[in-house]
């Protein structure tokens, strides 16, 4: 099973849950449905939006996350970070 989508708003919605809800809940629904059907492997694609861009020569790993308190983070960046964190929490 592959889960590759996350909402990308053209304009900022009045309610950020219009983007955050589908991103996080959709990711968890896919993972739960796959597990419930006995799927052996599920791939959730990430984005650099979930780790952010930092000046470093070190490779980024699953321990690197976008700082959600950082000024100027887009709603898309927040949604990808929150959805991926929810996926990691689910499989932990």
Q: What is the pTM of this model?
A: 0.86
Residue 87's pLDDT is 94
Strand partners for 35: none
Phi, psi of 43 (to 5 degrees): -110, 125
Beta-carbon neighbour count of residue 88 at 10 Å?
11
Conformation bin of residue 38: beta by default, left when phi > 0, alpha when psi is -120 to 50: left
Q: What is the pLDDT of residues 26-74, one digit of tens each?
A: 999 999 999 999 999 988 888 888 887 777 788 888 788 888 988 888 8
Tokens of 68: 């959600």
């Amino acid at each position: 099973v592959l889960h590759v989508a996350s909402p990308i708003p053209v304009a900022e919605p009045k309610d950020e849950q219009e983007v955050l809800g589908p991103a996080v809940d959709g990711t968890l629904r896919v993972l739960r449905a796959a597990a419930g059907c006995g799927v052996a492997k599920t791939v959730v694609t990430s984005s650099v939006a979930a780790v952010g861009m930092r000046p470093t020569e070190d490779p980024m790993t699953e321990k690197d996350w976008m700082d959600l308190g950082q000024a100027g983070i887009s709603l898309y960046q927040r949604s990808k970070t929150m959805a991926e964190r929810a996926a990691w929490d689910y499989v932990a």
